[in-house]
Amino acid sequence: MGLHFHIRKEQIEEIKTMQKKNKNKSVERRLKTLLLYAEGKPRTEIAKQAGYSTSHISKLVSKFLDNGMVTVLGCNYKSNRRNLSYEEEAKLLEKYKKQAEQGQIVEISEIKRAYEEAIGRSTDKSRGQIYRVLERHGWRKVMPRSKHPNKASDEDIEASKKLTKQ
């Protein structure tokens, strides 16, 4: 039989008050798991009710006892999925936006270099990251309409229209 952690009465009251204030479903599941554990229910039964594995329940209870309610309430992702905030990205792109408004051609390589300097590392492994940044700020790729290299001239097209039956 594994370790059994003991949740104190004050902690149980804290969990119950947080259940009343909470509006997040995933946090509610974690709080429910902690309460069931505090009531002395076996981990297998809690796992069926809460939808967690037994090892996850043990980790959740252990983290709660070590760090408190922060581990249960907070978002536990380790990164923010972005290197700069939206405002910092906008500030970085401002210089290039002015160039584009003046009719100059703005190259992605320049923007990428400036972005990498701002974050302090290379973005080569995360392909397309700079394009996602530009898309987030409403930039789009503008190109002239392509033409086929062997396309007939406009005079030839008009001449062939005259030869066809009407």
pLDDT band, very low/low/confident/very high, at 147 (cuts 50, 70, 90) = confident
Contact by Cβ (8 Å): 61, 38? no
Task: For the chain, give the longest Cα–Cα distance.
Answer: 96
The residue-averaged pLDDT of 8-30 equals 88
* Between 65 and 145, residue with greater pLDDT: 65
Is the pLDDT reported for residue 85 higher than 50?
yes
pLDDT at residue 1, as a whole number: 46
The residue-averaged pLDDT of 19-36 equals 89
Is the pLDDT reported for residue 76 higher than 80?
no
pLDDT at residue 150, as a whole number: 85
pLDDT at residue 102, as a whole number: 92
Mean pLDDT value across the chain = 85
> Which residue ranges make up each domain of the chain?
9-73, 86-136
Q: What is the 3-state secondary structure (H, E, C) of 46-107?
A: HHHHHCCCHHHHHHHHHHHHHHCCHHHHCCCCCCCCCCCCHHHHHHHHHHHHHHHHCCCCCC
Is the pLDDT reported for residue 79 higher than 60?
no
The residue-averaged pLDDT of 63-80 equals 74
